[in-house]
Amino acid sequence: MPDNESDLLMQVARTLRRRWSAAYAPMGLTPHQARALRVAGEHEGLRLSAIADALRISPRSATEVVDALEKGELVNREPDPTDRRATLVAVTARGRRTLDTLTEARTKDADEFFGRLTDQERAALRDILGKLTP
């Protein structure tokens, strides 16, 4: 067992990432793609740079992730009506259905993973993690 909070938290994060990978695999998504789809789904058209910022990845990496989502017909690129040099990433109808499935899978997995905790422990964990999140 890790001997400090940082290592323990990272171990939990890696465990969750492996679980999410397994949950997203039937949808043909990687964790990065699922996160990008979720970010794009929270907005009505988003510039690629905003997706990169939200995911804390380089614009080039965001381009690759969005390319894969576009290939899967989950998002498309549209001209930005306020700046003809820019494009926006928008979620397609298929992407919305995939987002719904993805959300259900995440909720089910979180309930299973955190189900070992009491409601009180879960609330305390949310409070603690909220204090640590910038």
CA distances from 133 to 112, 125, 130 (A): 23, 12, 5
- pLDDT by residue for the chain (134 residues), tens only, comes to 667 898 999 999 999 999 999 999 999 999 989 999 999 999 888 999 999 999 999 999 999 999 999 999 999 999 988 888 888 999 999 999 999 999 999 999 999 999 999 999 999 999 999 999 87
d(CA 134, CA 122): 20
CB atoms within 10 A of CB 52: 20
All residues at 6 or more sequence positions from 11 whose CB lies less than 8 Å from its CB, including other chains: 2
Q: The whole model's pTM is what?
A: 0.84
